[in-house]
Amino acid sequence: MDILAAGGNAVDAAIAVAASLGVVEPYAAGIGGGGFWLIYNASENKYRFIDARETAPKAAHRDYYLKDGKPDRDRSINGPSAAAIPGQPAAFAYLSQRYGLLSLPQVLAPAIEQARTGFEVDARYQKLANFRLHHMRRYPVTAEIFLDDNQVPAVGHRIVQPELATTLELLAKQGKAGFYQGALANTLVEAVQANGGDWTLEDLANYQVVEREPIVFEYDEHTIISAPPPSSGGIALAQMLGMLDAYQQQTGTDWRQLDKVAQAHLLAEVMRRAYRDRAEFLGDPDFYQVPVDKLLSEQRAADYAASIDANKASVSLDMQGPANLHEGRHTTHLSVLDKYGNRVSATLSINLPFGSAFTVAGVVLNNEMDDFSLAPGVPNSYGLVGAEANAIAAGKRPLSSMTPTMIESCDQVAVLGAPGGSRIITQVLLGTLAHLQNEPVEQWVSQPRFHHQYLPDRIQIEPDTFNSSEINRLNTIGHEVRSVGRQYGNMQAILWDIQQGKVTAASDPRGVGAAEVLSVPQLNIR
């Protein structure tokens, strides 16, 4: 809000928020990671998608993490060997230069101040630090910054990050070159190589963000704009809604008219099919020809819809696709709308909590290399098998589920997204369906969630999503229903009702964020 009040636009504010989150949520995001930015530029009436996903170093190859023919999970998850080349610093510089109104030093100033003065540990920080405690202790620099005497800090303990403040200042003053070249780049590479990683100065210097065409499709008099590959989110979202439309045409059954259990069954079946295709066909489009037209065709939606039995669950293994992909769950999301009608939906990540657990120059490095298929055709420790489309290659970007999304109709605009690994896409689907049913924005972010990802072949639920009678009905038609034992996700959403001249926004009660509305945009999107 300070950035907007200072004359910044939605992009300036989004950069400031993302930088701040990287300071106070070191377990979820930061300049050691990457992300996807979906932007609407009101003056151009144009959507832009900024791919700031990390890239594999040039030393990486298809069998990079194989040891005696099996994936080396420790090397792909912990320490700098797990870190891909970060995209977030390049994104800040790129977005600020091309789409912002304020200078990069102005928009990074709040995060720099927060890093220097510190923030207080809360219960969420404690939980995620405890999850990664053993590995944080392996790296003295990380332990010194984020632990207290090698233990998870008490609530209220202040985390101060002066080295991160210095690194952010260098980025603010010198732009992209301040991170990817010069003294800081040397420091990063030396530390990575000294601790088992393979980064080079060339890897850093060669990193570029990529502008891609977003996935755009129509559903129920709405235009939905979402993330293209290397995200699987936009394609999966389009496929699921396309199947619902085809199912209605074939059977006359509108998902809105179904009772809770019948609707959950239908949604689980469309989720199952979209995730089956995700496992086989999705990857970095610069390395693999993703068959977008085939996946989004009316014929594929019709064929999949025809295979859904209203009274019986499908069996995923009968679909003869590869098993699904493991993906880290700890990500962050932000949504911004400014008074001009510009808007940003951005999902950012370092993968697992505290990324690789390795810190250099105040930067917690990601462990996004684990999002590749570590060994196509070979199960990892989760029993999941990846496909060739997402095999490791030098310079390649790992597949992601991050799904920043916007929805337009003749009189409304919605901006939404969420963290949550492979469950991101189904969160956005459920949020979209709530919007299509004219539910208030608070309902989009707070409704109980469920998820099916093809394999493992089960409906995953939050503890209070279904009661015992509803679970029994789902079991009766062949679904295994299993609670994940906790709530998940952290959706951030905005609804601009242009006709009524009203903006509402909501932050997921599962998280620690907040939503605030100061004014209503004056420009019509049309």
Over residues 458-498, the pLDDT tens digits come to 999 999 999 999 999 999 999 999 999 999 999 999 999 99
Q: What tens digit of pLDDT does each residue of 201-241 get?
A: 999 999 999 999 999 999 999 999 999 999 999 999 999 99
Q: How far is CA 519 from CA 14, 44, 122, 516, 526, in A?
A: 17, 22, 31, 10, 19
| Residue 371 labeled ligand binder | yes
To which H or E segment does residue 71 belong? strand 70-71
Side chain identity at residue 271, one-letter code: M
Q: What tens digit of pLDDT does each residue of 362-404 get?
A: 999 999 999 998 877 544 333 344 578 999 999 999 999 999 9
Task: Tell how strand 459-461 and strand 481-483 pair up.
Answer: parallel
Mean per-residue pLDDT over the chain, rounded: 95
| Residue 350 labeled ligand binder | yes
| Residue 351 labeled ligand binder | yes
Write phi, then psi, for 312 (nearest 5 degrees).
-155, 135
Taking the domains of the chain in order of start, what are their residue ranges? 2-42+52-212+331-390, 215-326+402-507
Judged by DSSP in three states, 521 sits in coil
| Residue 158 labeled ligand binder | no
- Tell me which of 142, 331, 359, 405 is the catalytic residue: 331
Average pLDDT over residues 259-274: 98
Side chain identity at residue 88, one-letter code: Q
Q: How far apart are CA 436 and CA 12, in angstroms?
A: 30
| Residue 232 labeled ligand binder | no
| Residue 400 labeled ligand binder | yes
347, 428 contact by CB (below 8 A): no
Architecture per CATH, 215-326+402-507: Orthogonal Bundle (1.10)
Side chain identity at residue 513, one-letter code: G
Average pLDDT over residues 22-36: 97
Look at the alpha carbons of 123, 327, 206, 357 in this order and tell me if their dihedral is positive or negative: positive
Q: Is 331 a catalytic residue?
A: yes
Q: What tens digit of pLDDT does each residue of 426-443 get?
A: 999 999 999 999 999 999
**Percent of all residues in the chain with a pLDDT value above 70, rounded to a whole number:** 96
Question: What local confidence, expressed as pLDDT, does residue 320 receive?
Answer: 85
Average pLDDT over residues 282-287: 96
Question: What local confidence, expressed as pLDDT, does residue 522 receive?
Answer: 76
Question: What local confidence, expressed as pLDDT, does residue 349 receive?
Answer: 96
Judged by DSSP in three states, 462 sits in coil
Beta bridge partners of 359: 364
| Residue 231 labeled ligand binder | no
